[in-house]
Homo-oligomer: A and B are copies of this chain.
Amino acid sequence: MVGEAVAKGATLADVARRAGVSPSTVSRTLRGLSTVSPATRARVEEAARELSFAISRSASSLVTGRTGRVAVLVPNLDAWFLGAALAGMAPALNAAGLDMLVYSVTTAEQRAQFFDRLPARRNADALLVVSFALSPEERARLDDLGMPLVFVSQHEQGRAGVSVDDVEAARRGTRYLLNLGHRRIAYLEPADPSGFAWSSRARLDGYRAALAEAGIDGDDDLVRQVADWQGPSLDAAVGRLLSLAEPPTAIFAETDDIAFRLLTVLRGVNVPVPRRMSILGFDGHAMAEPWDLSTMAQPARRLGEVAAELAHGVIHDPEAYRERHVVLPVELVPRGSTGPAPGPRPRPGDGDGVQ
């Protein structure tokens, strides 16, 4: 009895019967195709509505070779940036009539399985690679399979993709600190032991370039790697920086997540921000505002939206889109975590140097 009630779902043939036309006509109508008379169209659409007809993608993709789906490959799912990017992607994809398949590949095992079974293949029309470091073999494999690729938040020579100009953004961020009078500027970059997340030295390069332009010699003691998210290595890094002969007066963190933890650590050890130490982040994390963190804001959602457009492009016009790369702007958002460099170190007896 229960089984009876479960409508298996109307088929296109059912709709055709109800509308008194052939299946072909229903198909044409529903696809909004060329030549269907208005009267027929109306009848078909009503019949479809009455039966709550929803087309079976399985059947149509079997014949068209298109699945109407795109796969999204991410190194994890709980990082703010990825969530924001997906949040931009999903509606844009849906608007284009595409469904979004998400694959979160975090462990080596998952990775092997993903590329071995390649579930995306034949089950998606394109693959969006988001901040994921593809090995050359993996990339080759995907190419062999003829899977159109779109790289999101990473720049791959001669490939469709969307990203920001990390070099330029980091350069501008560093210049901002220089303009505030800072001369000793540290740089904290995330260590990625898994090697899954895509990264480049681009931001670090930008930082170094800005220092060089200002005639300041790079000091490797000021560049430190820290575990991206959890763990004690940040404390150690801060300890190193504070115990230098000439400690920094500003720290540029490669990600806002690092900057947040940095703020906490500094508060804990009574280093006032920004009076004694300015902090600049990178990402435009949603929490940056409540934390009053100055940051280089990436348009994360927008990256997702553009990625969706590119996906649509590479599917429908591979020739035109194959190498299209979009660069989005990064904006410096100055907030309370950055301020002028403190004056010269107080000589003995000078007090705090405060007027």
Contact = CB atoms under 8 A, between A and B. Distances in A.
Interface of A: 5-9, 52, 54-59, 61-62, 65, 67, 69, 76-80, 82-84, 86-87, 90-91, 94, 99-104, 106-107, 110, 113, 117-119, 121-123, 141, 144-146, 229, 260-261, 263-264, 286-287, 290-292, 301
Given A119-B99, A144-B7, A91 B110 contact: yes
Given A83-B78, A101-B100, A121-B9, A52 B91 contact: no
A54 B146 contact: no
Nearest to A64: B58
Given A104-B87, A145-B7, A57 B123 contact: yes
Given A52-B141, A52-B144, A52-B145, 8 more contacts: A6-B146, A9-B145, A54-B118, A54-B121, A57-B122, A77-B90, A78-B87, A99-B101
Contacts of A87: 76-78, 104
Nearest to A62: B58
Contacts of A103: 90, 94, 99-100
Contacts of A229: 286
A234 to B, nearest CB: 10
A122 B290 contact: no
A77 B121 CA distance: 25
Contacts of A61: 58
Q: Which 10 A-B pairs have the closest CB atoms?
A: A6-B146, A77-B87, A90-B104, A83-B83, A78-B87, A58-B61, A78-B83, A264-B290, A54-B121, A58-B58
A54 B7 contact: no
Contacts of A55: 122
Contacts of A107: 91
